[in-house]
Every structure is written in C-alpha cells, then in structure tokens.
Amino acid sequence: MDVNQPKQEHLLALKVMRLTKPTLFTNIPVTCEERDLPGNLFNQLMKDDPSTVKGAETLMLGEMLTLPQNFGNIFLGETFSSYISVHNDSNQVVKDILVKADLQTSSQRLNLSASSAAVAELKPDCCIDDVIHHEVKEIGTHILVCAVSYTTQTGEKMYFRKFFKFQVLKPLDVKTKFYNAETDEVFLEAQIQNITTSPMFMEKVSLEPSMMYNVAELNTVDTAGKSESTFGARTYLQPMDTRQYLYCLKPKQEFAEKAGVIKGVTVIGKLDIVWKTNLGERGRLQTSQLQRMAPGYGDVRLSLETIPDTVNLEEPFDITCKITNCSSERTMDLVLEMCNTNSIHWCGVSGRQLGKLHPSSSLHLALTLLSSVQGLQSVSGLRLTDTFLKRTYEYDDIAQVCVVSSEVKQS
C-alpha cells in the first residue's frame, strides 16, 4: 500500500493505519478428564490463560479484541476509517505542524482532515493523531495523500508527502427482472449476490418507487401478528451466495388511467441496500433508477380489473375488463365478440357495440363466463373489432383461473 517519495531525512514520521473493526481472538481448547494422567493440568492451564472465557474455557470464541493485521479489502458503500499519526522522531522541538489528508479518486479530490489548524509545537517523542472517516462512493483506485509541513528549530520550513494507494471493489452483484401481471401491477425480482470474501448481514433491502408507483415488499410473512423474513434463520449471505427479493408495484391512482397508454421506457424506482459485516461495519448502496420497457399494447389494450382466483365447475362467474384506446388521435368504435373455446363459455350477447372510445381513455366492461373443464384454465376468446379500420384484435390467454369441482368448499 505504501508508495513513498525518495528518501529524505525528516524530523517527523508519518504513519497510517486502516482501522477496520477489531476481530475476536479464538482459543484452541485442550481438555482431559479427571481420571486421565494429566489430571487437572490442562483445565488449570486453560483457566490461567487470560484469553479464555472464564467458566466456559472450552468455548473457542473468546472476548479478546485483536487489532486489524492488514489493510484488508474495501468495498463500495463502506466507510474508510484510518488512523493518521505524525510522530516527532527527532530530539528537537518542531513548530507549526500542519497535517493534511486528501483522498484522490479518478474523478475528484476530497479533503478528509478533521482540523485544518496548524499545531504550534511538537515535543520530541510526541505525536499528533487524527482518525479520518470517509464513506466510499466510487469504485477503483483511490489514493490517500498525506501532506505534512513543519518548521524546524532553526527556522527551516520543511514539507513532505506520502501516498497510499488502494482499490475499492464492488461488494454486490445486483440483477433485476420485471414481470408484468395481467393487471397493471409490475413485479420486480431483485437478485443480490455477495461478491466479497466475508459473510454479510443484509440489514435492509428496500425499493424506493418513482412517483408513479406505490410499492409493497413481499419479503416478510405475517403469521399470528409476527412478521418473519422469508429467509428464515439464514439472515446473512455467505460469500458468493445469492438472494432474491420480490416487490410488487402498483401504479398510483392518478397514473393508473394512463397506465395503458404508457409507452417506451419508464422509471420504476431504485433499490436501497444496507448491510453489515464484522462487528457492525456498515455499508450502503443505492442502485441507479431502474427502468422498464413498457410492454407494447398496440392500439387497443384489454386488461383485467377483477377476476376470481378459483371458481366452481360449470358455475358462471364475473370478471371486469378495462378496454383502453392507446392511440393518441383516433376515436374508436369498437364491437365486442366473444368466442367460446373448449373450456371457456361466455354468457351474454356477442357482437354488440361498445360505443365511442376517445383517444387515451378507457371503459370498463363486466362479463360473465363459465368453465366446463376442471383445472387451471386460460380465459380466451375475446375479439374487438375497430369498425372504422375494419381491423380485429384478438385477445386470448388474458388470464388464468382455477376451476374446481363444486364438491370442494368455496368461500
């Protein structure tokens, strides 16, 4: 990590040490039974060892803190803490010491020192200490530049700099997938992988929606009033482990009307991830705004507003559809036809006119149908014809419904 300037005799020495959290010392327990030859020897040795847990010397994980032994890895989103010490190695008093610490990245230079005032004098064998903290927001090469300027007893002004280079790595690999539901809801699956070398506790993974959406997170299960995470007892991610988080986004009321008309790329929101590692070392990342390509609906969109999950065999049930005119200029005159399939039978009048539908507006339609086949059935067979253009739009497989025999209790 050290990149020093050519040797020059200076009265002051600058030392830097990265302060990651300390680790706990582990013992190696050696025991024996009373009747064994060593008798109580091992037990006594373990009791005398200052690093064992008193009363439970066989427990490996002690309580003694050990300082970090090397620089370790540093990841985006973590806080870089470092001890900076300027020590007077000489035997003369040094005056007007100014210590400056800057962090140089590929894009900017940040000043990290807590105090910018010069210290009047430093006696021999004394030191000036500072602990700096910085939340790392960029990946790649970072250089900690420490500059020390001072005046010797003879009045000579001296100056030296030290450079410490380190790499900031990526801690998480985030993949997102969008699923469009039959209604206007969008489901977001976020896959998060721990690509560091130590276990990570995911404290919070939340989706901050853009102004168009309301979000419901689907990562906890509420049973008997207590909410439990879907990940159960495994609250942490080992290196290279992946986890999936699920969110449901519903467009807000004022945007729901326009939902069918949204074309192209829309901004959904961003993920906010907070994690902790050894002894509470914190890291935080936000993804950039996640975008989704709105599915193309063509000129006329048929979506479902309500449909039951489960219905009885051969019993009529109601659904409501929403028909949206997605074009921007044409008023449409639509005719609805219902075609039966093997399993789906529509009830009502087919071939009726729906009235004029203005651009970017929609109408709601209630329909009744029944199914003659058990199992998971696909609702199909709706046809909308634009009378002006003489174009027919077909709508098949718009939703699924589970059909059960009427002997099965229905609520």
Partner 1 sequence: MEFEQFGNLDQPDLYYEYYPHVYPGRKGSMVPFSMRILHAELPQYLGNPQESLDRLHSMKIICSKILENLEQGLAEDGSMTNITQENRQASVQLWRSRLGRVMYSMANCLLMMKDYVLAVHTYHTVIKYYPQQEPQLLSGIGRIFLQIGDIKTAEKYFQDVEKVTHKLDGLQSQIMVLMNRAFLHLGQNNFAEAHRFFTEILRIDSSNAVANNNAAVCLLYLGKLKDSLRQLEGMVQQDPKHYLHESVLFNLTTMYELESSRSMQKKQALLEAVAIKEGDSFNTQCLKLG
Q: Which residues contact partner 1 (rule: CB under 8 A)? A: 13, 15, 17, 19, 21-26, 28-33, 36-37, 48-51, 53-56, 58-69, 83, 85, 87, 89, 126-127, 129-131, 199-201, 203, 233-236, 238, 275-282
Task: Answer whether 313's CB lies under 8 Å from 372's CB.
Answer: yes
Residue number with CB closer to partner 1 (277 or 324): 277
Asked if 149 and 159 count as a contact pair (C-beta separation under 8 A), the reply is yes
Cα-based distances in Å from 2 to 11, 144, 242: 19, 10, 35
Shortest Å distance, C-beta 155 to partner 1: 25
CA–CA dist 175, 247 (Å, integer): 14
Phi/psi at 122 (nearest 5 deg)?
-130, 120
Contact predicate 406/313, CB 8 Å: yes
- Give the residue carrying structure tokens 């040797």: 7
Single-letter code of the amino acid located at 7: K
Nearest approach, Cβ of residue 240 and partner 1 (Å): 13
Report in angstroms how near the CB of residue 36 gets to partner 1 at its nearest.
Answer: 5
Nearer to partner 1 among residue 234 and residue 358 (C-beta): 234
> Of 17 and 363, which CB lies nearer to partner 1 in the complex structure?
17
Cα distance between residue 140 and residue 118, in whole Å: 32
Q: Is the CB of 66 or the CB of 328 nearer to partner 1?
A: 66
Q: What is the largest CA-CA distance in the chain?
A: 106
| Separation of alpha carbons 73 and 397, rounded Å | 52
Which of 183, 278 has the CB closer to partner 1? 278
CB of residue 104 to partner 1, shortest distance in Å: 23
Nearer to partner 1, 22 or 308 (CB): 22
Do residues 308 and 401 make contact, with C-beta atoms less than 8 angstroms apart?
yes
Residue number, 179 or 201, with CB nearest to partner 1: 201
Q: Using CA atoms, how far apart are residues 100 and 113, in angstroms rounded to an integer?
A: 6
Query: How far apart are the C-alpha atoms of 172 and 137, rounded to whole Å?
Result: 14
Q: How far is the CB of 47 from partner 1 (least distance, A)?
A: 12
Shortest separation between residue 59's beta carbon and partner 1, angstroms: 5
Among the listed residues 119, 163, 177, 110, the one whose alpha carbon sits nearest the alpha carbon of residue 137:
110
CB of 279 to partner 1, least distance (A): 6
Give the HSE-up count for residue 112: Cα atoms under 13 Å, Cβ half-sphere. Answer: 25
Question: Distance from first CA to last CA of the chain, Å, rounded?
Answer: 69
Residue among 28 and 224 whose Cβ is closer to partner 1:
28
Shortest distance, CB of residue 228 to partner 1, whole angstroms? 13
